[in-house]
Amino acid sequence: MEKDRPSPVLLLVAVTKLLKAALLVTVAVGAHKLLHHDSAEVVRHWAHAVRVDPANGWLDTTIVRIAGLGDRRLEAITIGTLLYATLFATEGVGLLLRRRWAEYLTVISTSLLLPVEIYELVRGVRVSKIVVLVLNLLIVAYLVWRLWKSRKEHARG
């Protein structure tokens, strides 16, 4: 068994989980900064700072959606996003340390989100939704295979 050499696939999954965690923390901080402020004005300011074309239709849509969020909703988004970030960070660190519990945790958490991803795909097919679903299916399949293989080897020896 390859106990000394980490699996490149496992390393890739771990790094992906850590990147997702970092992105979610960024989103949570952004949502928190919108609390008690004019959300539309804050988004306009950020868009100007990163040089987004003010005539961009995406920007208008984003401003309308964010402006409609109240403080309670922004607090919920902040807390929920931080909880997901914590989960992804825990999975990523555990996988980097090659802990078996992290593989189980990742299989369970990723599998639990698959029905939501399928539902979203049914609501509207997009290439990005298909890619995310396929990648998550591959992650679950790979980790289940690793866990099964490990259990089988442990039973033999």
* pLDDT, tens digit (0-9, with 9 covering 90-100), for 86-106: 999 999 999 999 999 999 999
Contact 17/92 with Cβ under 8 angstroms?
A: yes
Residues 42, 69 within the same domain: yes
* Each residue's pLDDT tens digit, 70-80: 788 889 999 99
Residues 119, 145 within the same domain: yes
Range of the domain at 74: 1-98
**Quick count: other Cβ atoms within 10 Å of Cβ 132?**
15
Residues 137, 106 within the same domain: yes
**Predicted TM-score of the model (pTM):** 0.79
Number of domains into which the chain is organized: 2
Q: How far is CA 43 from CA 73, 112, 125, in A?
A: 17, 33, 28
Q: Of 63, 98, 133, which residue constitutes the final position of a domain? A: 98
Query: Can you tell me which residue has the tokens 């639990």?
Result: 112
Q: Is the pLDDT of residue 154 over 70?
A: yes
User: Side chain identity at 150, as an amino acid letter?
Assistant: S
Residues 50, 115 within the same domain: no
Residues 84, 147 within the same domain: no
Query: Can you tell me which residue has the tokens 């399928």?
Result: 118
